[in-house]
Structure 1
């Protein structure tokens, strides 16, 4: 029997923040993959090279890490006040699964530039020189992101001198505003704090009872204190990712936190949500050496944060988790806020494995409930390759 030939699909490989992903226009996907479902998932897994029991994604575009196993679908928006719709798919590496449950804050920085370059934004909204404001509907979590994209001679300006820890080379700055970032998660009742408390006692079998701040902002995130689980908050990837018992501990905490947040019904359902919630640990400032060799001094940061993504310690910080950090830091009494010294604040600079990052958030207490109008941070983005991606025609 003859094997099906390969087909080619227009695609762009982009870096956004500290992540990389394959970007598609919805209209360019094969017809059966233009709608959610098994065909779309199978196509994206084949593009990335998953599932791969070797966990290398050699036969695809993925880079064998959570930061590089990502896909994005962008289309013109029919929603009032928005330019484009943005859908993010986190592709599992060694299992057949695409997680659509959350956003990627890092790749959010590339959506505006991609949309402009791909003709998805009204040319009248793009200045010849200056900054184009792209209004993005984040379809995974039903939220608005405003991207401020630099423009030179009518085209996206990608090069510049903005430096982002975790990215080797400087580039042009893209400022992002995440409006009303509290995630509307099923089971959370629409609350930023789904349990109704800023700090909970989270019982985790085999580990104990941990103080935890569980928040839906940017992406559902569970924060615990570093010292409560035997860490300092200065750890780099090798200290955790090479320790199977540590990885199992974090996943156990994450699963039990997910149940408490109402994101899954049972501890037997973690496979339904691998991308969310995130689990992170916080500590007060102290000196450490970042993965690049850069010296981070205690006085350079307000607190230290380490976060897990798809079962491994992230090499820097997920953009959506940075939104959660900034939001929690702005609310007095959360573990994040306390690690940063407590009190009211509208911005925080935290240390992560690759260096430091600043994120701002505007929080207010309304009728006894906390709300955040927006979170702000800067990223950069760059096209790495564009053209067509090829997959076997019978792969989906």
Structure 2
């Protein structure tokens, strides 16, 4: 069979990488679309390496993004994100990638989807179609082109780059197209009896993506662990997935724990938090507990993330701002900005919260990321993929 080429851009956004496509370069048929994207990334791969595709064999590098002109008057572009499973034929469209969100603005400008200023800051209004949320990215411009080089440093990314500020508007929203409120159980703190685990205290929240927070001690951890301390422990990973999958059912996101594990591996995300402890990051950098408000770690696609997902950071900021959550219990005097430690270093993120008629709402969450084009050209798949 002959191969067909599809125009694409390979981009880093935050601490993730993904293959970016124009919406008009891909078929609208969902089954055909998923087949093509799986083949582009190199999944499913029983070897777990994605050698015959563009994926990098981690949850942070097995990603696809589709961007096109927006169908909404208040936005410039529509953005869809797909988390591609490595060892299964699954593209999970249930949530957003906060890290790759930082690359959407630069990609949209390069594709001519909006008029950007020749110099200064381009404001890109993004509609995140997975979760029905509006995001605004502020992209630096010089001489008519996106500025990619700069001095902004992001733990988890080796080289400095230009800073891109991102605002997640109404990050608690309505929980995306599945409906629900900021707290799907109407409570900021619950205790869930998880089969094979026992009672677990947790906060289940819709913020950026659906997320679940537990205390590190619930997993027998201290909160300052690195990937090597977690990802080789099969029993610990089983326990984490049991909590995540059963919480997904209580959040109304899956009919059963088995469905959450098999068909919805991307969201909700499970994170564990703790009072800060010092540690040495994965790069060898000393992280001093005195500089942190909390320690936080998050699981992504069944493994501990090497840094922190962008939407996980948003959820941390939102949960820290709302009294009664497990995160707020660790930082009861939070003033809207929180600095947390993750395996690659630390990150500061903020959220604006207010109380109205006894209910807390969050108007925006704010963080900085960077993005860079890595490659432009064509990705190739067998023509038989389209003919199946």
Alignment of 1:84-95 (within 5 A): 84-95=77-88
For residue 36 of structure 1, report the CA deviation from its aligned partner.
4.7
Number of the residue aligned with 1:110: 103
- TM-score norm. by structure 1 comes to 0.95
The SS at the match of 2:60 is helix
For residues 22-54 of structure 1, the C-alpha deviation after alignment (integer angstroms, 9 at most, x for no partner) is 00001122xxx2x25110000000000000000
1:27 alignment partner, one of 24, 29, 36? 24
Task: Measure how far apart 1:105 and its partner are.
Answer: 0.2
Which residues of 2 match residues 128-139 of structure 1 at below 5 A? 128-139=118-129
The equivalent residue for 1:158 is 148
Equivalences for 1:235-246 in 2 at 5 Å?
235-246=225-236
For each residue in 1:63-88, what CA deviation from the matched residue of structure 2 results, as whole angstroms up to 9, or x when unmatched?
A: 00000000000001120111100000
Partner of 1:13: 10
Greater shift, 108-117 or 223-232, is seen at 223-232
C-alpha distance in structure 1 between counterparts of 2:176 and 2:238, whole Å: 26
In 2: Cα distance, 1:360 partner to 1:218 partner: 13
In structure 2, do the counterparts of structure 1 residues 76 and 186 end up closer, same or farther at CA, with 3 Å as the change threshold?
closer
Aligned to 1:181: 171
TM-score by length of 2: 0.97
In 1: Cα distance, 2:179 partner to 2:12 partner: 35
Note the residue ranges of structure 1 that are not aligned, 5 or more in a row: none
| 1:310 maps onto 2:301 in alignment | yes
- Contact 1:187–1:262 (Cα < 8 Å) also in 2: no
Say whether the 8 Å CA contact 2:219–2:240 is kept in structure 1: no
Which of 265, 272, 279 does residue 263 from structure 2 map onto?
272
Secondary structure of the residue aligned to 1:151 is: strand
Matched residue of 1:82: which SS? coil
Cα distance in 2 for residues equivalent to 1:185 and 1:334: 17
Q: Deviations over 1:77-111 (max 9, x none)?
A: 12011110000011000000000000000000000
Asked if 2 retains the 8 angstrom alpha-carbon contact of 1:332 and 1:343, the reply is no
Distance 1:325 1:149, change over 3 A: same
Deviation at 1:185, TM superposition (A): 3.4
Q: Which runs of 5+ in 2 are unaligned?
A: none
Q: Report the CA distance between 1:189 and its aligned residue.
A: 4.8
Q: Which residue of 2 aligns with 1:294?
A: 285
- 1:200 equivalent to 2:184? Answer no
Find 2:199's aligned residue among 201, 209, 232. Answer: 209
CA distance in 2, matches of 1:184, 1:39: 30
Structure 1: how far apart are the matches of 2:178 and 2:185?
8
Summarize deviations over 1:226-277 as a string: whole Å, max 9, x none: 0122100010001111111111111000011111111112223122211000
Match of 1:376 in 2: 366
- Taking the aligned partners of 2:8 and 2:87, their CA distance within structure 1 comes to 23
Offset at residue 338 of structure 1 (A) = 1.6
Whether the 8 Å contact between 1:47 and 1:60 is mirrored in structure 2 is: yes
How many aligned positions are there?
A: 385
Q: Which residue of 2 aligns with 1:72?
A: 65
Distance 1:315 1:298 in 2: 19
Cα distance in structure 2, aligned partners of 1:327 and 1:281 = 15
Distance of 2:308 and 2:334 partners within structure 1: 23
Match of 1:342 among 332, 335, 341: 332
